[in-house]
Amino acid sequence: MKPRPLALAALFLAAAALLFAGCAGFGSGDEQDIRTLLNTSGYTNEDNDRSYGSDDSTVTPGGDGPLTDDPHRVPFVRFRRYIPPRGVSRQVTVDIPAYPGWPDTTALATITTDIRGELRTMFDTTSNPILVWRKPFEDRAVRKVLLFKHENRWWIDKVTPLEFSTQDAAYDLEITGLKVHASSWAAGDTFRLTSTDTMLGKHDLPCFVPSDTVRVWVTAASNGDSCWTFLHHGRPKWPHRWRKPYLKLDTYEFHGVWLIGDEGYEKAAIRPSGHDVIGWNSLWADSSAPYVSAAWGLPYVVKLPAEEIPEE
């Protein structure tokens, strides 16, 4: 399956009203049923909240690569976001109806996840022992979900991308655009996203076949430090999940490639991706430098052409 051509939708395929499956919801229990659906759906569960790799570390396959003076390739760095046991808190608020004047069979849910932890970096291998710099952080991820009720069941209709941002950041850093193209798509079929306010139906999400090579372009903006961008993709659970640095095309422009086949395949599935921009001195300075990051999280579909998009 290919995404709808850009001509059919502004800002990456305006979301079609096509269903995501739900769970039973009745009467006064509607809000709880919606929360249960959101917490279990592959489109909106907590694995998506972590899709920028909050608990990962760069491994050798798909890692940062060797030391290099190439300005387009990431300088040597190893980093991870350490999240303590209670470092993630997730809240879901539900409005019924979704908007004033809409019927009571519609709902708008806002998922807010606060992620507290410590960025740990190692970029200087000349010291003995090697120094690990530590920077506390508090990131927040927000996603909105439009739902409707049909035959006494709630269904997810559309979702926005997850928007991650550092709270009380030392300067502004943001993603301004995301572009995706897969080898199985026609030349003009390109996924474009310029705002996390965009509502996307399941048929609007990037859809790949297991043999696809996927190319991604990210643009960012900052009124402070420069940055580097990392791609997180793969299955929601380990071991098939990776973090890979993008190539830097310009100060705030990046390009990355991933092979869907590396992730393995058994059946049609929804998988989370994260596009993770981190301030330069957050990665390549000592613990006195602040942590600043921004990321977009986007579910994507992997399936064979004859298979249906998952309804979970």
307 domain-assigned: no
- Name the average pLDDT for the chain: 85
Distance CA 203, CA 197 (A): 17
For position 19, what pLDDT does the model report?
Answer: 35
294 domain-assigned: yes
218 domain-assigned: yes
Q: Which two tokens stand for residue 246?
A: 């993008």
Q: How many domains does the chain have?
A: 1
Q: What is the pTM of this model?
A: 0.85
For position 234, what pLDDT does the model report?
Answer: 82
For position 4, what pLDDT does the model report?
Answer: 39
For position 77, what pLDDT does the model report?
Answer: 87
For position 312, what pLDDT does the model report?
Answer: 60
Does pLDDT of 299 surpass 80? yes
Does pLDDT of 262 surpass 60? yes
- The residues that bridge with 220 in the sheet, in sequence order, are 175
What percent of the chain lies above the pLDDT cut of 70?
83
Q: Which two tokens stand for residue 61?
A: 């396959």
The sign one gets for the Cα dihedral 12, 14, 20, 22 is positive
Instruction: Tally Cβ neighbours within 10 Å of residue 118.
Output: 16
For position 22, what pLDDT does the model report?
Answer: 39
For position 238, what pLDDT does the model report?
Answer: 61
Q: Which domain, by its residues, includes 273? A: 6-302
268 domain-assigned: yes
146 domain-assigned: yes
312 domain-assigned: no
Helix (H, G, I), strand (E, B) or coil at 121: strand
For position 46, what pLDDT does the model report?
Answer: 80
DSSP states of 123-140 as a string?
Answer: ---SSSSPP-EEEEEEEE
Q: Are 235 and 271 in contact (CB under 8 A)?
A: yes
129 domain-assigned: yes
Mean pLDDT of 46-75: 59
310 domain-assigned: no
